[in-house]
Structure 1
Amino acid sequence: MTTVLVAHGTRNPRGVALIGDLAAAMSARLHEPVHAAFVDVLGPSPTEVLRRLDDEHAESGAAPVAVVPAFLARGYHVRVDLPAHVDAAGHPAAALTPALGPSPDLAAVLALRLRAAGAQEDDAIVLAAAGSSDPLAVADVDRTAGHLGEILGADVTVGFAAPPADGSAHPGVTEAVRAARGRGRRVAVASYLLAPGLFQQRLAQTDAEVVAAPLGLHPRVVGLACDRVRAVRARVDIPA
């Protein structure tokens, strides 16, 4: 099986490099090719990668392809944009997996990143996500906040790096940090982002005492992405 790992896309070279590194780490674990694609900002797009893979196997028949969204919630790109890319490619054996999040594995990595950044037991915790007005995406972030709260034994509030303009969901991360500090405690921000970039910079610009690093290439993140591929393989009965 071949895999296409699909991320949003960013102009930040470190963010682009991380997606390539994640694809390489998945490939090493799965012992099969993993290609990177992006739905916005830069290419190649998922449609382009899937068409190329279809062309490469035109004579021998289309090889199964797992399309893994490197997203942390079920927002527009996961539910609408990415399926449209798969349909447009016309690849006869492409299977779209669920997004990476929400997952208890990601919450465990969030807790580890917080502790590594210096978070203390009595800190107020703000989970900082990219942001969305999509109710399913908001619900997924809330589930992650719940998972993290269970691990830490603490209440976790949510702030968005790019909150909806209509105020329909969670506040911006700066406002969330201020609200948490209003309770008279230090504030630690858990970065529910996959890679460094503009949104991580916004977290660093808050006045929180602790800002954790993004999820990045933690082994549990790599393992979760590989599990998405293995689930597709089992569903279509492809031998390991």
Structure 2
Amino acid sequence: MNPVLVAHGTRRAEGVAMVADLADRVGSQLGTRVRTAFVDVLGPTPAEVLSALPAGPAVVVPAFLAGGYHVHVDIPAFVAASGHPDVTVTEALGPSQHLVRVVLDRLVESGWRRDDSVILAAAGTSDARALRDLRVTAAMTSAALGSRVELAFAATNEPRVRDAVAALRAAGARRVVVASYLLADGLFQDRLRAAGADVVTAPLIAHPGVAHLVANRFRRAFVDGRVRHPC
């Protein structure tokens, strides 16, 4: 088994360390080493990691919360460039009921109250597929909480998180909670903290449920020692 976890990449050392820690925790569950690669900002790239793997099939799990350009275009291009003869790329981590439960856990541990106004805060995307995934996740989170959850963005899309917080306050919200829908700490999480909410939850990556979800992605791709290519 040659599992590879592919993340976006960040200039923040703590964000890189978070990805490495996730790979270690997933590797402990799988009983094998999980290598990491990044599509932007820093290396190694997925092509570099895949080309250096030992013989045997490889599985790439995109550590992305929605399926966008990086998942549908960048990662397949890196796989092709690697020359590796047998690579399966799984779906992105979200949308997923499993991730919604992680978001709910983050809300509860942050002191969320049932009468709070909640914003699900994502990084933002120009990819229509990723935007659809984020809207699905917001709807799933609304259903799980039993109240409307607003979707807002740290970058790229509208509304921005700061504007969404201000709009809820103008509408009479007593407390506003920003539920981070970011994987790791970094610039975008800093923007959530600076948006003026009463509470901002932690990013998702350190939650045990994320490691469990990633491990299951790898397990489903390997069946009886053979790679199953998902439809």
Q: TM-score band, normalised by the shorter chain?
A: over 0.9
| Gap regions ≥5 residues in structure 2 | none
Q: Distance in 2 between the 1:180 and 1:79 partners?
A: 34
CA contact (8 A) 1:107 1:147 kept: yes
User: Equivalent residue for 2:126?
Assistant: 133
Q: Distance in 2 between the 1:210 and 1:139 partners?
A: 26
Q: Distance in 2 between the 1:159 and 1:92 partners?
A: 40
CA contact (8 A) 1:124 1:181 kept: no
CA contact (8 A) 1:46 1:86 kept: yes
Distance 1:236 1:140, change over 3 A: farther
Note the 1:1-240 alignment, pairs <5 A.
1-53=1-53, 57=54, 62-164=55-157, 170-185=158-173, 186-234=175-223, 237=226
User: What is the DSSP-based 3-state SS (H/G/I as helix, E as strand, rest coil) of the residue aligned with 2:189?
Assistant: helix
Q: Distance in 1 between the 2:224 and 2:164 partners?
A: 41
TM-score scaled by structure 2?
0.95
CA contact (8 A) 2:88 2:227 kept: no
TM-score scaled by structure 1?
0.91
CA RMSD of aligned residues (A): 1.5
Query: Displacement of 1:238 after TM fit?
Result: 5.6
Q: Deviations over 1:140-188 (max 9, x none)?
A: 1111111111111110111110124xxxxx3111111112222211110
User: What is the DSSP-based 3-state SS (H/G/I as helix, E as strand, rest coil) of the residue aligned with 2:183?
Assistant: coil
CA contact (8 A) 1:26 1:222 kept: yes
Query: Displacement of 1:234 after TM fit?
Result: 2.5
Distance 1:83 1:107, change over 3 A: same
Q: Distance in 1 between the 2:41 and 2:183 partners?
A: 16
CA contact (8 A) 1:7 1:71 kept: yes
State the identity %. Answer: 51
Q: Deviations over 1:25-64 (max 9, x none)?
A: 01000011200100111000000000111xxx3xxxx311
Q: Deviations over 1:91-137 (max 9, x none)?
A: 01111011111111111111111121122111111000010021110
Q: How many residues were matched structurally? A: 227
Q: Distance in 1 between the 2:170 and 2:116 partners?
A: 12
